């Protein structure tokens, strides 16, 4: 019995030694991997042949720096230092091996030669997770040279590039950037999840065509805050498939306001749900808080929309729902929209309207707006014509508190 016990004890001892040896190796490897994941490395575009001055195209140098940074298993930083760097359309694609930041400290200047517009985007980030774009720098779209090419109403034409696009990006932050004179929209967000945009300044003249500030489509949990947006189109456009969009502390003007839509014009669109706009101001815009759907539209739902603590200054159409949207007549105004709008709240909206009808709720006859709530609306008419008025069609809901102009919602 003692011999057997000794043999069994030796086997247990041998197994424990082997376990310690294997675990020690695993711990060393795990430590090395963790150490490398925590290491930061800067990839300066100047080290890859970028030339400052705003004359030479730097797209290849930027791509080389990006590709090396994307392969790094730690925290990679692509650095664009101070200076002016000309950049043709470029795509920064993933997935990458770790968190990656693109730090713009200088100015990126777009080309004005239409022959170089080989994409609908100028600077495009796609298929990425844990991305940061920041640095305090500037995107100069040089749109004034090509805006006449942006009028496609009467003839076929090529879409001009959007300055900064994000496609299928998750867990990202975009902050401390300026974009001006974009050729098309300043920023586009498509198929993205959990992105934060803050401390941005987006600007273009009020008469510049299609220069939306931020366009969002088919995306979830996008937050925009503490930014100034003045453009020739929507300051923020919320399109098909957008859900949980949070907008706060935004100043909008000039521009077409903060818009949901247009919606229902295509058969492959998705519902819009959960849009929250609060603590913001609009000045001199052609619309304020707008929801627009095509008169002839495919079935769709827009729900859980809340506007709160918004101040208007000389805004045309401060509050407007237009379910007969028709930007390019002729349109058949006899048909009614199939987009169902419901659960929309306007709370503490005040200021001045430059149009007599400060509140317009033009809802669908076949799909009336439901569960509308108007609470403390104080909009005065700035200009001749007496006092501000409201106009409602097929809008069902309730009104509370001060109602100036008088509410026209049906209970």
* Residues involved in catalysis: 256
Query: Cα–Cα distances in Å, from 200 out to 52, 215, 286, 295?
Result: 24, 14, 22, 35
Among the listed residues 183, 258, 240, 195, the one whose alpha carbon sits nearest the alpha carbon of residue 222: 195
d(CA 265, CA 299): 10
DSSP letter for each residue of 81-142:
-SSEEEE--EEEE---SS-EEEEE-SEEEE---GGG--SSEEEEEEEEEEEEEESS-EEE--
d(CA 236, CA 222): 12
DSSP letter for each residue of 161-175:
PEEEEEEEEEEEEEE
CA angle 297, 321, 317 (to 5 degrees): 135
Check residue 296 and report its DSSP letter. S
d(CA 379, CA 388): 7
171: left (phi over 0), alpha (psi -120 to 50) or beta: left
d(CA 349, CA 375): 8
Among the listed residues 98, 165, 110, the one whose alpha carbon sits nearest the alpha carbon of residue 133: 165
Among the listed residues 47, 124, 123, 127, the one whose alpha carbon sits nearest the alpha carbon of residue 80: 47
């Amino acid at each position: 019995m003692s011999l057997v016990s000794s043999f069994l004890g030796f086997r247990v001892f041998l197994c424990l030694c082997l376990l310690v040896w294997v675990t020690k190796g695993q711990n060393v490897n795990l430590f090395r991997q963790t150490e490398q994941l925590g290491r930061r490395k800067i990839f300066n575009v100047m080290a890859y042949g970028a030339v400052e001055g705003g004359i030479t195209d730097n797209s290849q140098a930027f791509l080389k720096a990006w590709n090396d940074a994307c392969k790094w298993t730690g925290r990679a930083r692509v650095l664009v230092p101070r200076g002016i760097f000309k950049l043709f359309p470029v795509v920064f694609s993933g997935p990458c091996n770790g968190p990656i930041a693109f730090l713009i400290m200088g100015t990126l200047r777009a080309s004005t030669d239409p022959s170089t517009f080989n994409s609908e985007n100028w600077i495009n980030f796609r298929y990425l997770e844990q991305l940061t774009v920041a640095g305090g720098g500037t995107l100069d779209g040089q749109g004034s040279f090509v805006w006449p090419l942006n009028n496609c109403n009467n003839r076929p034409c090529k879409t001009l590039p959007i300055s900064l696009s994000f496609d299928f990006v998750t867990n990202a932050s975009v902050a401390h950037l300026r974009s001006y004179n974009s050729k098309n929209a300043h920023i586009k967000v498509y198929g993205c999840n959990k992105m934060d945009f803050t401390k941005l300044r987006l600007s273009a003249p009020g008469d510049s065509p299609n220069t939306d500030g931020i366009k969002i489509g088919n995306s979830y949990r996008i937050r925009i805050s503490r930014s100034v947006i003045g453009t020739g189109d929507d300051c923020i456009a919320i399109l098909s498939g957008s859900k949980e969009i949070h907008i706060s502390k935004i100043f909008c003007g000039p521009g077409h306001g903060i818009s949901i839509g247009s919606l229902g014009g295509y058969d492959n669109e998705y519902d819009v749900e959960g849009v929250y706009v609060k603590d913001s101001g609009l000045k001199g815009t052609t619309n304020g808080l707008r929801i627009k759907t095509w008169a002839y539209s495919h079935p769709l739902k827009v729900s859980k929309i809340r506007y709160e603590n918004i101040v208007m200054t000389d805004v045309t159409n401060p509050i407007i729902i237009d379910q007969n949207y028709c930007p390019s007549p002729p349109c058949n105004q006899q048909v009614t929209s199939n987009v169902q709008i419901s659960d929309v709240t306007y709370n503490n909206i005040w200021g001045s309207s430059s149009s007599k009808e400060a509140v317009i709720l033009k809802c669908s006859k076949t799909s009336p707006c439901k569960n509308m709530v108007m609470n403390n609306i104080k909009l005065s008419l700035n200009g001749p014509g007496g006092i501000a008025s409201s106009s409602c069609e097929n809008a069902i809901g309730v009104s509370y508190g001060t109602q100036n102009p008088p509410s026209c919602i049906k209970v």
